Structure 1
Amino acid sequence: MKDRDFLFILIFTEIKQTLPKSLYDMKPQFVTDDHGKKLAVILPINDYNRMMNELDELEDIKLYDVAKKSDQKFIDAEQAFKEIDKKRAVEQM
């Protein structure tokens, strides 16, 4: 094993320990019909909340990717707030 490979494994192990518990570690219970067909899932509330947070983060990443691909002009927040305040002042006249 090369030193570089060992370093990668060491860094990966450190990062993995700081990551949140995987969704694949959840312990769902299934509600089934008489034929064994799954109809619903029962999750511990902590697993449900973690899943919802990860889905929210995934949605944010997708929206970011869409925004980056668009041809929109981006301005910093301070400039945006100035333009909004200016527009509101004009509308109130």
Structure 2
Amino acid sequence: MCSDCQSTDTVIDVRVIAPRMRHPMIFTAFENLAQGDAFVIVNDHDPKPLWYQFSAEYPGTFDWVYEQQGPEVWQVRVTRTAA
């Protein structure tokens, strides 16, 4: 599914998760990351609103890199850069 993912990266495919559970699951996964660790979010649309929420909740503690930008699948690597 994610050709560039490192073997240790968790992949969170939100397309198969109930909408009300998506953000809580993603934020819990982020809170459990050690500095330098990452996960990949897979979605069917640009998760840019989630980036804004991360920026508000965790300013200066994450890196957000698009690995695939549509049109059908979007993949974003979120790395914890600070505690």
Q: Given the two structures, how large is their TM-score scaled by the length of structure 2?
A: 0.22
Q: Which has the higher helix share?
A: 1
Q: Given the two structures, how large is their TM-score scaled by the length of structure 1?
A: 0.20
Q: Which has the higher strand share?
A: 2
More contact order relative to length (CA 8 Å, sep ≥ 6): 2
